[in-house]
Structure 1
Amino acid sequence: MRQPDDVIEQLRRRFVQEYPDWARQTGTWPIRISLQPPTTTQRSADPIACHTWAEQWRAYKGPGVIEYTSSRFPTGTHKMPKTLVLGHPREVAAAHADTQQTWQRCGRRLTSLYHRFPEAQFTGIIRRLNDMGERDYLRLVTTVTWLQANPTSGMLLRQLPIEGIDTKWLAKNAHLVLALLGTSDAADDETTPVPRRRRLHERLGLRIPPDLVQVALLDPALRAQLAGMRHLAASVEDLNRWQHVPSTVVILENKETGYAITEDHTDVVVLHGHGFSVSYYAQIAWVRTARRVIYWGDIDAPGLQFVNDLRGYGIAVNTTLMDMTTLEEFRHLSVDGAGPQRKSLPHLTDTEQQLYEHLVDHAANHDNGLLLEQERIPWPHAHRALATAIGSAHDSTDAQREKLGRPTTK
């Protein structure tokens, strides 16, 4: 025999779980909750307890309508509460003060948003909208109102004349902003930060800042043409305008490593710091045509995926310090990292494939990936290997080009 307090708690839990769907007018109504009236055995063993229980439900002042059933007792037939019937979400919400407040706030906000933004898409965002503090909610409405009125402002993100917002706030609430404008990023399967930021700018009609590549010029002649600068950041478009281009390109996954190379190398340029931006490098014409392209990244699954994708863009890249020998020598410096995201990487060499299979097995056996960051390898050892790779003959690159066949642009 279910007690009123137990049923009220059940209604509260069900409301918390399902109210966003109810707000979108989905769900099956009415809701019928069995009160589990006394069985024949209970009615015979303790009829007084059964009648006391029934009186508790007759005194019930909560939401819903109680349906009764006739039950036989030793003293005759009596009505017993059988089912609590609730015909509308507001009745479920009324079972508890907190849920009633939540439902009322949800109704006010959705009604207002429907009128302000008729193209809005509310799937998957109602709970988050309703949980926002009042100050954040008002910021959201103000932001969407401005963007709706200025769909092609061409402004930079930091230039938006909207009180109370900054880039962190907009990044955190981008999904809500886009949904209220009638679009969503749910279909985007890219998770890298730069492409997502670019898509956000495009959808909000904002000016897209150039994506800058960090460059270290190891060739003195090339530095002389660029005001003597050794380190600079340039867009892909600017890099493609270079008249004198290097024959050897070194790509380093992390930014700091690019600053560690202090000696000069003729006809060599280092690109560094865009560890997840394969497409940027593939858009630089002289990277695609370089006689030698050397890649050194972290020893982990994402690092090898980067190598695979570079070759998939037709870039005949050779790796250094990305093999089982290096991992075994410096494994004591490794930490937990990201696991593999793909079953196979078809463009790896046999040596790289051996390393990738080891990383896959490690992730399967330890529930996390393995990561040996390139900066963790002692610099004297890393510097010797990198200098050897830069100065080596390009026979391996020519062989790699022949293996890949004629490069194609993706």
Structure 2
Amino acid sequence: MANEQTGPAPELRVLRPDEWDTSYANLVRAFGGPPEADEERELWRELTEFGRFLAAWDGDACVGSAGAFSFRLTVPGGASVPAAGVTMVSVAATHRRRGVLTSMMRRQLDDVRSWGEPLAVLTASEPAIYGRFGYGAATFQTNAEIDTRRAGLSVPAGTDDVGLRYADPADALDACEAVYAQLVPGRPGMLARGPGWERLGLLDPESERGGASPLQCVLAERGGETVGYARFRVKPSWGPGGPDGEVILSALEALDPAAGAALWRFLFDIDLTSTLVARGRPVDDGWQYLVSDIRRCRPALRDALYVRLVDVGAALDARTYQAPVDVVLDVEDAFCPWNTGRWRLTGDVKGASCERTQDAADLALSVRELGAAYLGGVGLSALAAAGRVRELRRGALAEASLAFGNAGAAPWLPHGF
């Protein structure tokens, strides 16, 4: 093709600590070039797990990167499953169409398999890229701009029993992390935060506030115990009619409906503001059913976590199923051929088994569809309606779609990586 680049293939190798600055500079340039605040850059360096990060080199120039954090991801049934959090993927614009990305994805998935991690997950800056490597959109999130003057709240009983107090975000970190940790097993898609990751929510460079206040934190308490928290900023504004500021929500977690409602009511009622901006919230977030007029909230859906089954058998073994299932899946996986073939999945709410079989297939699909359906937020029946899952035995689709669904909270990714 006329637009293909020529030249020797870049050298792909594990990133060394002394190469991190060069690799990260290439990443920043690939994402447009604005420099990050020193505190953000240093946190990502500290979180980098050398040995799990790759870089492509053309001589002394870094022309590509791809990393993988070691996470544990909650799956349906509450198990915490090892997952490679794919991150910092970039290819220099000078080296496109030379197979750099494909070579990094190939090496990375081989590595993830060798580490015994059955899942790889990522957030996609460009979703069209990752489908060909077997990643499917498995969780979604809601963004909203809530007109707090016109969308009132109706709160549940017990809300007035919850006390609220301001706290320094850093001083309150342990209390907030304890709340978060209690919630992780109850929602598929949540990440168990290892050492250092708690600091991600405290990043507050002035250059990224966009005119808003420094990060603020309010704790919800009952009986001397912290039962929820909200982190947010306030962006003052005055128009012809008076104050018209924004509350920009960064995080909100609560252990029960009353605590959550108390925090939402607080955010709605902050003086001199008329808009609450909430991004990256669960699609089943409770505030949507407390507001008097959802149209005044302008909710918008967006893709979030992409899931890739690196080991089909181990991944399907690791979760439970909300209804009994016994189905043979004919899986296509051109990029990781060790997954290709027929797998018999049997399971229920107590556990599951997934093993290779020579039995006739009931459903045919690619590993991308399995990734999309894995956390229970995307129905196999919906994928079949799009022609991406084929029913080979009558009734198998309804059986499997019900089983793969999630009877509890919708899957949700709480923060990026």
More strand by share: 2
Q: Indicate the structure (1 or 2) with the bigger Cα radius of gyration.
A: 1
Higher fraction of helix: 1
Higher relative contact order (CA 8 A, sep 6+): 2
